[in-house]
Amino acid sequence: MAVYVYMYGGQKPKAMTDAWPHPWFGLTADTEEELHPFAEDIGMYRHFYHPRMAGSEVLPLVGHYDLDEGERDLAVAKGAIPQTQREHDKMLRQLAKERGIKLR
């Protein structure tokens, strides 16, 4: 069982400038029982939680919390495992397949 942090995809520098957007990260875990206490420990409130959705249906997969760069660094310092977006997507697809859940 583990808690993971990953950078959201699609965060690229703005065209024709040197400006980079402030990156956003997701905090998730193998189970909600691990995720919520960990998130609380780094200062997140439960109402910040985003359940995994398919349209208007809540899927039986662990959702995520949005983190800024400082919160991401704190999460890693407290033991969250950094992942790439690709690693996270692969893990999510595998878990959904094991549970017979179709992702969009």
For residue range 54-74, what is the model confidence (pLDDT) as tens digits? 888 888 999 999 999 999 999
pTM of the model: 0.87
The three-point CA angle 56-61-63 to 5° equals 75
Q: Of 63 and 16, which is predicted with more confidence?
A: 63
Higher pLDDT, 86 or 12: 86
DSSP state of 9: S
Residue 13, pLDDT score: 65
In the predicted model, is pLDDT for residue 19 greater than 60?
no
CA distances from 54 to 30, 57, 61, 102 (A): 19, 5, 11, 9
Q: What is the pLDDT of residue 67?
A: 96
Average pLDDT over residues 19-32: 86
Rounded to whole angstroms, the Cα distance separating 97 from 104 reads 12
